[in-house]
Structure 1
Amino acid sequence: MARILIVDDAKFMRMTLTNILTKANHVVVGEGENGKEAIRLFRELDPDIVTMDITMPEMSGLDAVKEIRNEFSDAKIIMCSAMGQQKMVVEAIEAGAKDFIVKPFDENRVIDAINRVLG
């Protein structure tokens, strides 16, 4: 069981992930809708894993990954991307993201990614 922070600007995507994760017995400890909230919530909640959308208003997921990893080098972050965002996914992995999942979410792929990152 992992404590997970979900960050996505689309409420529907957060709900979808919450449903998948809680069904797999994980606990969603918080939700954010942009990179700034991701950083603030990470500091507050100290989650085991963060699922982070790449494209968000105010601050992108990519910038948030860089900032979180800068402050917390062991942070486990999984990027969520739409099709066609490969370049940004590569940048995110280089910035320290551990894995990525593609929208629309495949339940098994999400759980596999969480389990892989948890090790």
Structure 2
Amino acid sequence: MTKVMIVDDAAFMRKMLSNIVTQGGFEVVCEAKDGLEAVNLFTQYLPDIVTMDITMPEMDGLEAVTEILKQYPSANIIMCSAMGQQKMVLDAIRAGAKDFIVKPFEKERVIEAILSVLSKSN
């Protein structure tokens, strides 16, 4: 089963994404509330996919992507952004994120992004 880590500083966003991911047939192995926690948990759980919010305290999503990819170049990270964060999304893609999804989340788009990234990584 595909293992997913959800990273977002808002608990309700993590819950919403977690529901979508599990309904899609994937397993949520851990959740992080900021980039620093995400980097530590990634090493511990080695998830197949990470959904990463951009704007968070401690360490933002862009820094976390860079840190994770330094240690695990093949990590599959999907950025999550609110409307109007296009520049940050582009920065994230340049940093190595594989795809992005926009808030508010649409179930079909989240599942499509996960499947698309997985198919490209195999």
User: TM-score band, normalised by the shorter chain?
Assistant: over 0.9
Report what 1:115 is aligned to: 115
Gaps of 5+ in 2: none
1:7 aligns with 2:23: no
Residues of 1 paired with 2:3 and 2:15: CA distance? 16
What is the TM-score of this pair, normalised by structure 1?
0.99
Other-structure match for 2:55: 55
1:23, distance to aligned residue in structure 2 (A): 0.7
Q: Aligned-pair distance for 1:39?
A: 0.2
Cα distance in 2, alignment partners of residues 99 and 42 from structure 1: 18
Tell me the secondary structure at the aligned position of residue 64 of structure 1.
Answer: helix
Q: How many residues align?
A: 119
Query: 1:25, CA displacement in angstroms?
Result: 1.0
Letter aligned with residue 67 of structure 1: E
Residues of 1 paired with 2:117 and 2:2: CA distance? 11
Please state how far the C-alpha of 1:36 moved relative to its aligned partner: 0.2
- C-alpha separation in 2, matches of 1:114 and 1:25: 11
The structural deviation recorded for 1:24 is: 1.0
Q: State the identity as a percent.
A: 62
**Displacement, 1:51?**
0.2
Please show how residues 73-88 of structure 1 align to structure 2 within 5 Å: 73-88=73-88
Q: Distance in 2 between matches of 1:70 and 1:101?
A: 23
Which SS does the other structure have where 1:87 is aligned?
A: helix
Structure 2 residue aligned with 1:30: 30
Q: Deviations over 1:2-57 (max 9, x none)?
A: 10000000000000001001111100000000000010000000000000000000
d(CA) in 1 for partners of 2:43, 2:2:
17
Give the TM-score, by structure 2 length. Answer: 0.96
Partner of 1:46: 46
Q: Structure 1 CA distance, aligned partners of 2:95 and 2:21?
A: 25
In the alignment, the residues of structure 1 paired with residue 33 and residue 50 of structure 2 have an alpha-carbon distance, to the nearest angstrom, of 12
